[in-house]
Amino acid sequence: MAADSDRKLSASLSGYHEVHFVAGPPADSADIRWHLEVIRHELRPPLGILDLAEGHAEAAGDAQLADALATLGHRLVETLDAYERAVEALDALEAIGRERATPTG
């Protein structure tokens, strides 16, 4: 079980709201959120370009290329959706951490 713990993600929800790998340095939720936002920001512009390229491929009669571009666009949208869910999960973790850090009594 100790070997498994080296590979598993652990979350410290009391006080510091840190999320870290056992073997690596801690990263706070602000760092994680920043990385998620960067990825989301980087994925949005290609969607418009892919949509335009798909339209050009369709107009040129290249159904194979249009289909491939559409598939790539759909996969990027799915990726953006996954990152949105990751941000929601991070929000939930932060809420749990705040709740547990609040003294009861």
Identify the CA nearest to 15 among candidates 100, 105, 104: 100
For the chain, the domain total comes to 1
- pLDDT digit string, tens, across residues 18-73: 444 344 455 677 788 888 888 878 888 888 899 999 999 999 999 999 999 999 99
For position 61, what pLDDT does the model report? 97
For position 65, what pLDDT does the model report? 96
Residue 80 has pLDDT above 50, yes or no: yes
Q: Which domain holds residue 57?
A: 2-101
For position 79, what pLDDT does the model report? 87
pTM of the model: 0.59
Task: DSSP for 26-57, please give it.
Answer: -EEHHHHHHHHHHHHHHHHHHHHHHHHHHHHH
